[in-house]
Structure 1
Amino acid sequence: MTDLTGGSTLPQERRVVTPIPGPKSRELQARRSSAVAAGVGSTLPVFAARAGGGVMEDVDGNSFIDFGSGIAVTSVGASAEAVVRRASAQLADFTHTCFMVTPYEGYVAVCEQLAELTPGDHAKKSALFNSGAEAVENAVKIARAYTKRQAVVVFDHGYHGRTNLTMALTSKNMPYKNGFGPFAPEVYRVPVAYGYRWPTGPENCGAEASAQAIDQIRKQVGADNVAAIIIEPVLGEGGFIEPAKGFLPALARFAADNGIVFVADEIQSGFCRTGEWFACEDEGIVPDLITTAKGIAGGLPLAAVTGRAEIMDAAHAGGLGGTYGGNPVACAAALGAIETMRELDLVGRARHIGSVMKGRLSAMQEKFDIIGDVRGRGAMIAIELVKSGTKDPNPEATAALAKACHQQGLLVLTCGTYGNVLRFLPPLVIGDELLTEGLDIIEGALAEV
C-alpha cells in the first residue's frame, strides 16, 4: 500500500495522556496571555510540538487526530517529505532576494505549474503573494485595471479575508468585521444558492438564486459598472455551502456576456481538497481569474492569482508585487506539495475520504435530529446543527460538540454564518483507521450532546 504519511515519522495514532489542555500547554498559555494580543484567537489551547500525516502532537505528548489541517493548509500533511526536502535545499541556497529585485527560477516554476493545473486551456499567467486576502485584493486590482470599472459583486455567506478591502467583501460581521470599519466602497452583496435554507427548496434554488442575484446586479449596480464577480465555489467560513447546481454556470455566463471578470476564490477549496484540483471544475466553470493559497505550499505562506494572460497583463509594470510575495522557500515548498499531490493521487484520495465521511455522517443524521444537513465534497465536509424539529441554528450544540471532540483527542473546527456548522478538513494523507476513529468520536460526542 502507498505510504500516505508523506514520510512522517510520527506514530499515526490518537493518544490522550493528560487532561486537555495539559500542564505544559497551560504554562505556555499563561505566557501567551501576557505577550500575544487578545484579538488573536485559538480554537484549541494546546501547543503543537510536532505534526505529520493525520496527527498533531502537543507539548504534553497528547496526539490528536487532525480534522482541521490548519484550516485546509496542510493537505499533504504538516511535514511532507517533498516539501521539507525542497524547502530545506532552498533555505541552504538563499532565503530571499525579492523577486522584484532579482528574480529566481522557483517563482517561475510555480507560475508554470499553476498555468498547467488551473481550469481552461487558454494562455495563463500568475502573480504570487503571501496570503489569501492579498490574492483576493490583487484580483480586484487586476480586474479593475482590465475593465476600467470599479464595482465588485460578492455573495451572502462569503468570506474573502481580513484586510480592509477583503473585510468589505466578507459577509460575516463577527468576528471578522465588527468595530473595524469604515470599509472599502463599491462592494455589492447579492444572494447565494444556499440549498438547505432556500425558501422554496433545494430543487429550485440554483435557478431562483441566480435570477435574483443577476436581477439585483442589473438594478442596483448596472452590469456595465461591474469589474468583477467574486465567489468561493464552495463557501468556506460561511458554512461549507455548495451553491445549488446551475447557480455558478449562470453567474459565469452573465459575467462573460457583460465583460465582467469572473473570479473563483479557491483559497480554501483548491488543490485537491474537494476531489478535483479545483472546486469550480465540478460544473465545468473556467474562471477568468482564480485565487489560491492555503493548500498550495504544504504549510508555508504563499498565495497566487492566476488567470487569462490578457487580464493578468492589464496592470502596469510595478503595479503588482510585494517584498515577500513568492518567497523562494515558499515556492520550493509549493513545488514539493504539488509533487506530493500528483504522486499520491490526492484528488482520488480526497474523493475516497468524502465517500467515507459522507456515508458515516449521513447515517448519524438518521440517528440524531440535530444534524440538519450533511454537505460538502471530497475532504471538505460539514454538518449543520439545528434545534430539534426545526431549521433554527444551534450554535450552542456546535460549540459543545467541538469541545467534546477536543477532549477525546480529535481536532475539529466550527464555521458558518450562524456559528452552527462543524467542518471537517482532514489532511488528504490521513489513513483510513484514523479517519474511522475520528468519525467514531464524533458519533459518541453527538450521543452526549
Structure 2
Amino acid sequence: MPNAAHIKTALPGPKAQAMIARDAEVISPSYPRDYPFVMSHGRGTEVWDVDGNRFLDFAAGIAVCSTGHAHPRVVAAVKAAADQFLHISSDYWHEEMVGLGERLAKVAPMGGPAMSFLCQSGTEAVEGALKLARYVTGRQRFIGFLGGFHGRTMGSLSFTSSKYTQQIGYAPTMPGVTHVPYPNPYRPLFAGADQGKAVLDYIRMLFERSVPASEVAAILVEPIQGEGGYIVPPDGFLAGLRALCDQHGILLIFDEVQSGTGRTGKMFACEHWGVAPDIMTLAKGLGSGLPIGAIVAKKSLMSQWKRGAHGNTYGGNPIACAAANATIDLVSSVFADNAAQVGTHFMSRLHELAADHPCIGEVRGKGLMIGMELVEDDAARTPARTLCDAVITRAFHNGLLLLSCGTSTVRFMPPLNVSVAQIDEAVALLRLSLDQALAGG
C-alpha cells in the first residue's frame, strides 16, 4: 500500500480526537470541516498531525500556502519584520508596505501604472473593489456569475453562488447584482453553441431587456472559476468580456484570489489569455499563509479615491507584507515556472488515471489549479457526488489531503514548489483511494 508507513494510527488518532472534542465546546460549528485532520507542523508539501501521521498536502490551506509550509525565506522575512514592530496602522508609512505596493505595480497585468489597497482577506478585497467601482463610475449595478465564489461578507456574498448554503439565512444581500451563467464547455447550458459567445450574447440580451448597461458599474468574474468547479472558460471569453465592458464604459474586475500569485503557472490566470482587468482582487497565496489581501487597480482609477474614502486598521501590516514580499519574489523567480512544468506532468498522470477509470469525466486546469470531475456511468454526465466525497475521505485515511469543489470535482492545489516525486506519490495515493471508494471501502 503506498505510503502506508506514514500513517501510524487510526484516524483520527487519540490526540486529534481530544483536540476535536475541546474545539466542539468553544469554536463555531459553521466551519465546513470535511475530515478530522489536526495539524502539528508542516514543511513544504508535507504536513504532520498531532499523532505523528504524515500527509501530502494537496489542499495547501485552500490554495494559500503557495510557497509551501514554513518556507525558510518567508519565515526569515516574517521574523525579521517582527523584530522591528508588529503594527503601525495604515495611517502611516513603512518599508514593507511600500515595497509590496511597488512589487504589485511591477507584476500587475493592467498593462500600465497600477496602485494597490492592502487588506486582510479575499472577501475584504472584493468589498473594496466593489466600492471603488461604484465610486469612480457613479453606477450601482453589477454583473456576477453563477458558480462564483467571492467571499462571505455582505457585498461579496451577493455575488457568491457556488453553493446555496452560503446564502441561506442572509437575504437580502447587497442589491443590484445580476447573475449570468459561467461558460462551462464540459457542461454546456447552450446546446450546439460556443459557450463563451453564448454567455456574452446572454449579457447583451440583459442589457437590452432588463439591466441598462449605462447603470452597470462592473462585471466581476473569476478568470478560472474556483469553488464552482475549477472551470476553465473557453478561449475568447475573457477577451469578449473586455470588449463588452469597453463598449459600455463598464469596469472589468478579475477575482484572482484563488487563481493568482503563480497558481496557474503564470503570475495571474488572466495572463493565459492576455486580457487586462481594470481592477483585480488578490489574497490566499499572496502571503504564503499570513492573512493579507489586495485590491490592485489601474492608477487612473484608484487615484480618484479621496482621503478617507476607504480605509482599514490592519491594512499593510508589516508582518503580512513581509511575507507577501518574500512570496512574490519566490513565485516570480522560481515557483510560477515550477507550477507550469510540474502541473503539466500532473495533468498527464491524471489523464493516465482517467484512462483506467470511466468515472473520471474530465481533467481540467492550468498549472497547479487542477480539477478532476467525477461522474456516474451514464451518458448524461451525472455528477457523482457520493463518490467524490468518498474519494476525499479515503484519500485522508491514505495520507493525502484534498478538497472538493463544484458538484463532484476533486480539486488539486498543492504548494507551487511541489516536486515531480511528490506528484507521483500523490497520484498513487489517489488511485488507491479512488479504487477503494469505487469498491465501497
For the aligned pair, the TM-score class normalised by the smaller chain equals over 0.9
CA distance in 1, matches of 2:34, 2:309: 37
Partner secondary structure for residue 175 of structure 1: helix
Q: TM-score, normalised by structure 2?
A: 0.95
Q: 1:215 to 1:120 in 2, by over 3 A?
A: same
Q: Is the 8 A contact 2:144 2:220 kept in 1?
A: yes
Is 1:212 the counterpart of 2:165? The answer is: no
Q: 2:422 aligns with which of 422, 434, 439?
A: 434
TM-superposed deviation, 1:173: 3.7
What pairs with 1:56-71 in structure 2 (closer than 5 Å)?
Answer: 56-71=47-62
Partner secondary structure for residue 301 of structure 1: coil
CA distance in 1, matches of 2:358, 2:197: 29
CA deviation map 1:166-198 (0-9, x unaligned): 111111344311122221101111121111011
What pairs with 1:367-446 in structure 2 (closer than 5 Å)?
Answer: 367-389=356-378, 390-416=380-406, 418=407, 420-446=408-434
Q: 2:85 aligns with which of 94, 98, 105?
A: 94
Q: 1:152 to 1:200 in 2, by over 3 A?
A: closer
Which amino acid in structure 2 is aligned with residue 134 of structure 1? E
Partner secondary structure for residue 229 of structure 1: strand
Show the counterpart of 2:343: 354
Is 1:266 the counterpart of 2:226? The answer is: no
The ranges of structure 1 where at least 4 consecutive aligned residues each deviate by more than 3 angstroms after the TM superposition are 199-203
Partner secondary structure for residue 128 of structure 1: strand
Is 1:180 the counterpart of 2:170? The answer is: yes
Partner secondary structure for residue 414 of structure 2: coil
Q: 2:183 aligns with which of 193, 204, 212?
A: 193
Unaligned runs of 5+ in 1: 1-11
Is 1:110 the counterpart of 2:90? The answer is: no
Of 142-151 and 354-363, the range deviating more from structure 2: 354-363
Q: 1:335 aligns with which of 286, 304, 325?
A: 325
Show the counterpart of 2:73: 82
Which amino acid in structure 1 is aligned with residue 410 of structure 2? L
CA distance in 2, matches of 1:217, 1:80: 48
CA deviation map 1:319-360 (0-9, x unaligned): 2221111211000111111122234x1121111222112111
TM-superposed deviation, 1:13: 11
Q: Is the 8 A contact 1:14 1:64 kept in 2?
A: no
Which amino acid in structure 2 is aligned with residue 253 of structure 1? A
Show the counterpart of 2:34: 43
TM-superposed deviation, 1:120: 3.1
Q: TM-score, normalised by structure 1?
A: 0.94
Show the counterpart of 1:137: 127
Which amino acid in structure 1 is aligned with residue 10 of structure 2? P
Q: Is the 8 A contact 2:119 2:314 kept in 1?
A: yes
The Cα RMSD (Å) is: 1.6
Show the counterpart of 1:9: none
CA deviation map 1:365-418 (0-9, x unaligned): 2221211111110000011111112311111000001011000000000111x2
Partner secondary structure for residue 196 of structure 1: coil
Which amino acid in structure 2 is aligned with residue 422 of structure 1? V
Partner secondary structure for residue 322 of structure 1: coil
Q: Is the 8 A contact 1:14 1:55 kept in 2?
A: no
Show the counterpart of 2:142: 152
Partner secondary structure for residue 107 of structure 1: helix
Q: 2:243 aligns with which of 253, 276, 298?
A: 253
Q: Is the 8 A contact 1:69 1:427 kept in 2?
A: yes
TM-superposed deviation, 1:105: 1.7
TM-superposed deviation, 1:214: 2.9
Partner secondary structure for residue 134 of structure 2: helix
Is 1:288 the counterpart of 2:278? The answer is: yes
